Structure 1
């Protein structure tokens, strides 16, 4: 049985560089692939699929958690069924590039209703936000009540999604 080196004291930090090739064996990768597809699999079912005993499977999954490969287990909800079917990508340009302006913007962005992701990016924009809302009317309300008041913003450009072509939470594992 292979061992996984724990390099991070914080379970939410990413493991060290190129961990997939250097520290994960075939069984570890199989476990991660299966759990990405369906984290509700029982330990017994998971163990059967990777040809391990249930106790050995449980130990491996726990090691993967402790090493930071598994951050958390969640339920993926249906956005349309919950009234959040419209996705809007928002490009943001700040009026200045200082640590204080980035910090203020990031704190405010974390409080935007329906904001699912916020990324610092290179190029024309400083940030991209992914926001989910019910429809264009609710997005207009969000724009008027929250987006216009974000600190340090020089420009906001919104891109409404017309059709979802691909959406996945599964990371590629070789």
Structure 2
């Protein structure tokens, strides 16, 4: 397979992103290549680290986690912690789904999920703002998710 993915690899990845449980025979038919080739290519994509894991996409509304918010946070350099250490502590909070160290006016972008805006507030006030190294936050609640890739 080498360093560059070809069109078949990219199509295979797209199909697996849509449904990682798709069986080899169905993928073979969709891509127009033999089943053994599909199996070999998936194995190579995993071995080369292109596919890190196979996972699920939960329906968060049915799990009573239908409210999503994005939080911008400023890092306090006087905290005695590195920005990465602060981000790693944030990542351990229940309800936090993503933590990104970003460039610009803010230092962290955090994605959280909860049952309600009130519960998001509890995460921010009672947990996030209590972490040493978090200086300031701005919370933006999402009205609707138009596209979300996993």
- Is TM > 0.5 for Structure 1 vs Structure 2? yes
Displacement after TM superposition at 1:165 (Å):
2.6
List structure 1 segments (4+ residues) > 4 angstroms apart after TM superposition: none
Partner-residue secondary structure (3-state), 1:40:
coil
Unmatched segments (≥5 aa) in structure 2: none
Displacement after TM superposition at 1:96 (Å):
1.1
Displacement after TM superposition at 1:53 (Å):
1.9
The 1:115–1:49 alpha-carbon spacing in structure 2 relative to 1, beyond 3 Å, is same
Does residue 167 (structure 1) correspond to residue 144 (structure 2)? The answer is no
Instruction: Answer with 106-115 or 72-81: which moved more.
Output: 106-115
Does residue 124 (structure 1) correspond to residue 88 (structure 2)? The answer is no
Aligned residue in 2 for 1:158: 139
Displacement after TM superposition at 1:26 (Å):
2.0
Aligned residue in 2 for 1:60: 41
Check conservation: 1:89, 1:160, Cα contact below 8 A: yes
- Superposed CA offset, 1:90-148 (max 9, x none): 11101217993313312211111111111111111010100011102212222232112
Aligned residue in 2 for 1:36: 17
Partner-residue secondary structure (3-state), 1:46:
helix
Partner-residue secondary structure (3-state), 1:100:
coil
Check conservation: 1:101, 1:151, Cα contact below 8 A: no
Unmatched segments (≥5 aa) in structure 1: 6-18, 170-174
Distance 2:7 2:19 in 1: 18
Distance 2:6 2:147 in 1: 29
Aligned residue in 2 for 1:75: 56
Displacement after TM superposition at 1:54 (Å):
1.5
TM-score normalised according to structure 2 size: 0.90
Aligned residue in 2 for 1:9: none
Displacement after TM superposition at 1:79 (Å):
0.8
Does residue 140 (structure 1) correspond to residue 121 (structure 2)? The answer is yes
Distance 1:98 1:82 in 2: 36
Aligned residue in 2 for 1:48: 29
The 1:25–1:111 alpha-carbon spacing in structure 2 relative to 1, beyond 3 Å, is same
The 1:42–1:152 alpha-carbon spacing in structure 2 relative to 1, beyond 3 Å, is same
